[in-house]
A = this chain, B = another copy of it.
């Protein structure tokens, strides 16, 4: 893949990804053509294939990199379950508020992944969910949490926290730290023994 190396690819590659992200979020994956992506980047349609094999690869890489970044960006601290949970909640909100378009695509375009690509993304999502569930189970075992079903609680909390991206507006009534605090208060009580 020598032709993907070098300073030209280093600059244009991220531009292609950004353009694909913007266009997929605005119009939906199925409605966007490689020609449109090329026009958004400012290159000829043929030149796009120096940077990506096809539209499916672009979508998959956006979703995979998003999940891998999320997994790399957060490790459970060496701390009691309640502190781990607070750290998870605050990080989840911060991370996702910074990437509303990726959050939107990660949910909306699952249907457009090939079965093989879907399996990879689903595996990464499960890894992330497992981290939260491990915290809930640890708290359950030590008696600080009372969660009737740790799997459902995991799905419920992730949906609640990710939902912030649908209504939060920068410069609105509450800043990010205030939002984190209010959500943490609800999560803390929801799982408390």
Q: Which A residues are closer than 8 A to B by beta carbons? A: 26-31, 104, 107-108, 111, 147-149, 152-153, 155-160, 162-164, 166-167, 174, 179, 181-183, 185-187, 189-192
Contacts and interface: CB of A to CB of B under 8 A. Distances in A.
B156 A183 contact: yes
Task: Please tell me how many copies of the chain the complex holds.
Answer: 2
B148 A182 contact: yes
Given A31-B28, A155-B167, A174 B160 contact: no
A174 B159 contact: no
A18 B166 CA distance: 27
A140 B30 CA distance: 46
Contacts of A160: 156-157, 159-160, 163
A159 B179 CA distance: 15
Given A107-B166, A149-B174, A160-B160, 10 more contacts: A27-B28, A27-B30, A28-B108, A30-B31, A149-B182, A152-B174, A153-B186, A156-B183, A186-B191, A189-B190
